[in-house]
Amino acid sequence: MIVSQVYLHSLNPAIHLSEITYLSQQLHVKAYMAIPKKAHKLPGLLYLRGGIKKVGMVRIERVIQWASEGMIVLAPFYRGNEGGEGREDFCGEDRFDAITAFDVLASLDLVDENSIHIVGFSRGGTMALLTALERHHAKTVTCWNGVSDMKLTYEERIDLRRMMKRVIGGTPNKYPERYEWRTPLHEINRLQSKLLIIHGFLDKHVSVEHSFRLKKQCDIWNKHAEFWLYPTFEHQFPDVAQKRVLTNAATWMKQT
């Protein structure tokens, strides 16, 4: 399933880092892959970035942080980025870049097939939920400051409306079905993975209302969800706190 692999300089000498190319709907898509050097049947982690195009691009530092927690990490850039083919459409067809990346991760010999996890940050929260809804053997899914309602994003982020209308193909008033298709809240009843919700209460990019709505739907469908709410944090957590929360989240994944 991996078309090509190029090894890169790793910030951690205990972690192998590479850029891979894989096929998603016949498109060549790029991703980072990080593997602890002494790996032997470790948990797998699909890391789903936020933003679009250059905004919110996967950071090598973040991939290395997750891998340093004893996990094999795959982090797709999504179609059309960093030399990949196609064009992002903000949780539309590009969701298959995440779903296919999950399959690539699950196919690796070093990955424990009974311990595969998904984490999505910001827009990646929607991608993570959409992936978990299609891959029920994902053990956990974590939404970190994650989008859960695409219409709410359109309403709140006036600065993103022009991009969303262009990429999605219109407004939620004119094409409600296009926004509903990108909103996993409507299908939480099908979620089988354990869920962790992380959010900074002062987040101005993705309001905490997204997480409140997600938790409410979980409660309605009797889906247990851990909810870690941080009253003083914004979209990007302070460095020290971010590392601590990441470690705690990785521990939660492995112990769930």
Concerning whether 122 is annotated as a catalytic residue, the answer is yes
According to DSSP, the residues that pair with 175 across neighbouring strands are: none
Q: How far apart are CA 36 and CA 42, in angstroms?
A: 9
Query: 3-state SS of the chain?
Result: CEEEEEEECCCCCCEEEEEEEEEECCEEEEEEEEEECCCCCEEEEEEECCCECCECCCCHHHHHHHHCCCCEEEEECCCCCCCCCCCCCCCCCCHHHHHHHHHHHHHCCCEEEEEEEEEEECHHHHHHHHHHHHCCCCCEEEEECCCCCHHHHHHHCHHHHHHHHHHHHCCCCCCHHHHHHCCHHHHHHHCCCEEEEEEECCCCCCCCHHHHHHHHHHHHCCCCEEEEEECCCCCCCCHHHHHHHHHHHHHHHHHC
Q: List the catalytic residue out of 10, 24, 122, 207.
A: 122
Concerning whether 235 is annotated as a catalytic residue, the answer is yes
Q: Which residues are catalytic?
A: 122, 235
